[in-house]
Structure 1
Amino acid sequence: MSAPISRCSQHMPLIYVWAEGAGELSHVDATVRKLMDTLRGEGRQWNPYSEAIAREEFRQRLLAAEQGDLIPVDEVIRLVTGEDGWLYEIRWQDISVRRVMADGNVEYYDAQVRALHGEPPRLPQHLIGVHAHEKLHWDGDDEKTEDEQNAQIRLAVRKFWAYEPSNWGLA
């Protein structure tokens, strides 16, 4: 049994939980930190202004998910994993990133960032965040792009089930 439409789109209040734990942060803010971590490294540079904008975009979409106000397909999509996992992907299509290349040239691009979460039936009012990543693209190699995306989804499935014995951090 799995729901084709995410709870994030059903206009009802929900509880969002980052399964790794939030520490001193809210679960939404812990996820925002993880999302920002996916956009660090590889010569990427952030100034305080652009980082604040990206953080707020992540935060606002996650808060909208908690309210059930995401737009299907554009902002949240069900993942077909081949097994019951009730996994969905919250999507950002255009997070502006500045990267300094090895040759010193600077490029700007719009990153596609994903937060994957589960919606287990036994927790009908919860969204269980399990994985965050940047969707990478290889120009001219659609197969490599798809393989990398599928690897990220498989990783999210493994995390989802690994956290299940602890009731996804709610034990």
Structure 2
Amino acid sequence: MTNQGTRIPSRCSSGSPVAFKWFDGIRRSEPDHVQLAVEACLRAVDSDTRVWNPFAKAMVKSEFKKRIERAALGQLVPVEEVKPVGQQPSPPPLYEIRWQDIAVTDRAPGAAPQDAVFSKVIVRMYHSEPATLPDHFIGHHVHEKIISPAGDTHLLQDTEINVAAGYFNLGEASNWAAL
């Protein structure tokens, strides 16, 4: 499902501003949709084996926020920072915003914090650009992309894309009433 196909470029790389909304099927009272997406990004990279200090967490949140804000300005670089995903030409029209090197500190379960090791992870945020909302892009789902030594990286990522597709379909069915 991760084939780029013949899709048009994302609105997030158009050079023109677009409004950002977050829709993952849950109606929230939080009016700051960028903040909702940043929180989803942070949850995607958080785990029981991650060690966070306040500075590192603030830096990671800032990286997520800046990329989403640049997307809303239409300033992302195609393919490097944003690209279409999914089978072409079939809907849903999904794109991924890409982070390649998010700094994290991991430790083995039960190990002391001082035994943690620095590493970098890959993060993907899937969003749609519905035809019915031509001046918007809508974030749906975020995950840490796992590069699998077993060779099922694409299968794992397709599962995550399908989660985002489900939220897109739910939004389309309600005509985006929950935004």
Q: Contact between 1:94 and 1:111, CA under 8 Å: does it hold in 2?
A: yes
Show CA shifts across 1:55-82 (max 9, x none).
0010000000000000001100100235
Structure 1 vs Structure 2 CA RMSD: 1.8
Q: Contact between 1:22 and 1:30, CA under 8 Å: does it hold in 2?
A: no
- Corresponding residue SS for 2:45: coil
- Corresponding residue SS for 2:144: strand
Match of 2:157 among 149, 159, 162: 149
Partners of 1:134 and 1:167 lie apart in 2 by: 29
Alignment of 1:4-153 (within 5 A): 4-20=8-24, 21-82=27-88, 83-102=90-109, 104=111, 105-139=115-149, 141-142=150-151, 144-153=152-161
Partners of 2:159 and 2:37 lie apart in 1 by: 20
Partners of 2:177 and 2:97 lie apart in 1 by: 20
Change (3 A) 1:26 1:161: same
Compare relative contact order (CA 8 Å, sep 6+) and give the higher one, 1 or 2: 2
- Corresponding residue SS for 1:129: strand
Partners of 1:93 and 1:168 lie apart in 2 by: 30
Partners of 2:170 and 2:106 lie apart in 1 by: 34
Unpaired runs of 5+ in structure 1?
none
Q: Contact between 1:42 and 1:99, CA under 8 Å: does it hold in 2?
A: no
How far off is 1:102 after superposition?
A: 2.4
How far off is 1:169 after superposition?
A: 4.5
Partners of 1:71 and 1:24 lie apart in 2 by: 29
Change (3 A) 1:34 1:91: same
TM-score by length of 1: 0.90
How far off is 1:23 after superposition?
A: 2.6
How far off is 1:170 after superposition?
A: 5.1
How far off is 1:38 after superposition?
A: 0.6
Q: Contact between 2:171 and 2:178, CA under 8 Å: does it hold in 1?
A: no
Unpaired runs of 5+ in structure 2?
1-5
Q: Alignment identity in percent?
A: 35
TM-score by length of 2: 0.87
Match of 1:158 among 159, 162, 166: 166
How far off is 1:25 after superposition?
A: 4.5
